[in-house]
């Protein structure tokens, strides 16, 4: 708490400037008030584009074009959301996105846990070297591998299918997940493994029946972060998918911006409605899994 007050003073002295207060308490209270003002104002600023999008999504086209613009719709049109489903195959896109995100997440978490288990629990020649190589791939820009992968997937006949988006996830799930699983497994006491080994359990059994059940928080964290990554991914689906009905939300939503409008009316209300519908599940997921989520992000900074 003392530290909080200290840092608070630095902010306060910036804001209040030369104003002299008679008592330290009054000064402290003013500083506190200023901090609250900053915190709340920033919150409003961060939320403003959201609010604008949310209220716009309920507006009618003529309402959208009105000047000066108003935050609230004149007439509420909740049917805009239904219109989105009628104008494009939005339900199909949701299904596609879910399918890709769920299967890829499953593969990534499962294979990353196997690999992390190997790094955390076994001693074999070359282990640390391979681990360092794994970590360094985190700094590799994917631009370098994308072109040969595209050519390879094209040769395999995988273009315009979900295979390029799902199958690579089953081979380790990427350096970050592997690192995260390894770090978590290292915190599980080795005594448990040894006791199980004396009872004759195989390594696979130790992995599946001892280590995995104890790692549910880490697995959940990995799953949430991977799921969101796939939900948001634009580049992959955009490059690998051609047929409109196979699109994911990230690729599909964009098409409201460039949709031909025969009636010459703006489509921003539909654009906002579809964008919000794409965002909403992620926000829900965040609220449900906030604990895992924050921990997973914080873990990225630990190794620094």
Partner 1 sequence: MATNKFATPRRRSSFSSLNLRKREIITGYLFLTPWIIGFVAFVSGPMIASAILSFTNYDMVNVGKFVGFDNYSFIFTRDELFWPSLLRTFRYAVIVVPMSLTGSLLAALLLNQGLKGTTVYRTLYFLPHLTPIVASVMLWGWFFDPNIGLFNHVIRSITGIAELPGWFRDPSWAMPALIIMSMWGAVGGNNMLIFLAGLQGVPQEMYEAASIDGAGTWAKFRNVTIPLLSPTIFFCLVLGVIGALRVFTAAFIATGGGPAYATYFYALHIYNKAFRYFEMGYASALSWIFFFITLVFTLIQFRASAKWVFYAGEVR
User: According to CB under 8 A, which residues from 228 to 267 bind partner 1?
Assistant: 228, 231-232, 234-235, 239, 249-251, 253-254, 256-257
Distance CA 267, CA 258 (A): 9
Q: How far is the CB of 144 from partner 1 (least distance, A)?
A: 5
- Residue numbers 14-53 binding partner 1 by CB under 8 A: 32, 35-36, 38-40, 42-43, 46-50, 52-53
- The residue to which tokens 């360094």 are assigned: 136
Q: Closest Cα to residue 88, out of 237, 255, 267, 263? A: 255
CB of residue 180 vs partner 1: minimum separation in angstroms? 14
User: How many residues of this chain interact with partner 1, rule: CB under 8 A?
Assistant: 103
Tell me the H-state helices in 172-246.
175-186, 190-198, 203-205, 212-214, 216-232, 235-240
Site for partner 1 in 74-133 (CB under 8 A): 111, 114-115, 117-119, 121-125, 127, 130, 133
**Residues in 146-165 at the binding interface with partner 1, rule: CB under 8 A:** 146-152, 154
Structure tokens at 4: 């909080």
Smaller CB separation from partner 1, 17 or 67: 67
Expressed in percent and rounded to 5, the helix, strand and coil fractions of the chain are 75, 0, 25
Distance (Å, whole) CA 91 – CA 89: 6
CA nearest 253: which of 89, 51, 86, 62? 89
Among the listed residues 10, 170, 23, the one whose alpha carbon sits nearest the alpha carbon of residue 100: 170
- Taking the complex as a whole, how short is the minimal distance between the CB of residue 78 and partner 1, in angstroms? 19
Cα–Cα distance between 230 and 245 in angstroms, integer? 18
> To the nearest whole angstrom, how small is the minimum distance from the Cβ of residue 105 to partner 1?
15
Q: How far is the CB of 267 from partner 1 (least distance, A)?
A: 10
Residue 60 makes contact with partner 1 by CB under 8 A: no
Q: Which of 86, 143, 191, 199 binds partner 1 (CB under 8 A)?
A: 143
180 to 199: interface string for partner 1, x by CB under 8 A: --------------------
């Amino acid at each position: 708490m003392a530290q909080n007050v200290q840092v608070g003073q630095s902010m306060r002295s910036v804001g209040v400037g030369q104003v002299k207060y008679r008592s330290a308490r009054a000064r402290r209270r003013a500083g506190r008030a200023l901090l609250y003002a900053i915190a709340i104002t920033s919150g409003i600023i961060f939320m403003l584009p959201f609010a604008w999008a949310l209220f716009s999504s309920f507006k009618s086209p003529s309402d959208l074009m009105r000047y000066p613009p108003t935050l609230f719709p004149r007439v509420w049109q909740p049917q805009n959301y239904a219109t989105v489903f009628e104008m494009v195959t939005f339900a199909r896109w949701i299904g596609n996105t879910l399918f890709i995100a769920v299967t890829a997440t499953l593969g990534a978490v499962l294979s990353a846990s196997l690999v992390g288990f190997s790094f955390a629990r076994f001693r074999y020649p070359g282990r640390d070297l391979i681990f360092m190589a794994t970590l360094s791939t985190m700094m590799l820009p994917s631009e370098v591998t994308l072109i040969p992968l595209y050519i390879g997937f094209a040769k395999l006949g995988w273009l315009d299918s979900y295979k390029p988006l799902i199958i690579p996830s089953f081979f380790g799930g990427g350096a970050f997940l592997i690192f995260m699983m390894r770090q978590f497994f290292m915190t599980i006491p080795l005594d448990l493994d040894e006791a199980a080994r004396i009872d004759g359990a195989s390594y696979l059994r130790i992995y599946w029946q001892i280590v995995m059940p104890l790692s549910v928080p880490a697995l959940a964290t990995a799953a949430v972060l991977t799921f969101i990554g796939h939900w948001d991914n634009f580049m992959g689906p955009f490059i690998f998918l051609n047929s409109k009905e196979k699109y994911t939300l990230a690729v599909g939503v964009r098409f409201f911006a460039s949709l031909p409008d025969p009636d010459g009316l703006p489509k921003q209300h539909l654009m906002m409605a579809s964008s919000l519908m794409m965002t909403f599940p992620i926000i829900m997921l965040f609220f449900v899994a906030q604990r895992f989520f924050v921990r997973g992000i914080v873990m990225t900074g630990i190794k620094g």
